[in-house]
Each structure stands twice: as C-alpha cells, then as structure tokens.
Amino acid sequence: MTMGPSAAAGTNSPAWTWRLERGDGSAVDGVAAGPVEGFPAQSDAETWIGEQWADLLARGVDAVTLLEGDREVYGPMSLHPES
C-alpha cells in the first residue's frame, strides 16, 4: 500500500508517497495502516514519517519506501528501533 499525496489539482509535479511494507516486503493494507496523507514535497513526507513511524509500526508496518511518483527515492527503511 502506498500512503501519500495526490498532487494538487492542476499541477504536473509527481506526488510524494510512502509505500508501507511488512518485513517480507509485501504491502500493508491501507485500512490497517490508517488514513492516507498527501505530501507536496519530500521534506513534508519525511516530517510525516518522523511523526507517525511508531503508530505505523504498531499497525503492522515494518518498513517504508519513499516514492516520487513511480520512482523509488530510498528504502525500504525499517521502522524498528535499532538495538
């Protein structure tokens, strides 16, 4: 499942989204992960994940990948704290 923005109406810029994944790389269902957020910029997406990672982890998300449109920017990035 991908969480993130739909681009603002009338713009051509790609939307910044997070693909939410289980530890095995499979997508996490959007209902389980919570409401979808939209992000007009990479920094907005990164701020959101910084605020929401613990809640997402509790809902079964193990890792996230940042996307700009269809392009993978980085990830998968684990949401589990380092031991």
The residue with tokens 């990035």 is: 77
Average pLDDT (2-8) is: 49
Mark 56-82 as b/e (b = at least 16 C-beta within 10 Å): bbeeebbbbbbbbeeeeeeebeebeee
Measured between alpha carbons, how far is 15 from 41 in angstroms, rounded to an integer? Answer: 8
pLDDT, residue 28, reads 86
Its pTM stands at 0.78
Q: What is the mean pLDDT of residues 67-81?
A: 94
Look at residue 7 in the predicted model and tell me its pLDDT. 41
Residues linked to residue 20 through DSSP beta bridges, in sequence order: 64
The string of pLDDT tens digits covering residues 8-65 is 444 556 699 999 999 999 988 765 666 556 799 999 999 999 999 999 999 999 999 9
Within 10 angstroms of residue 25's Cβ, the number of other Cβ atoms is 11
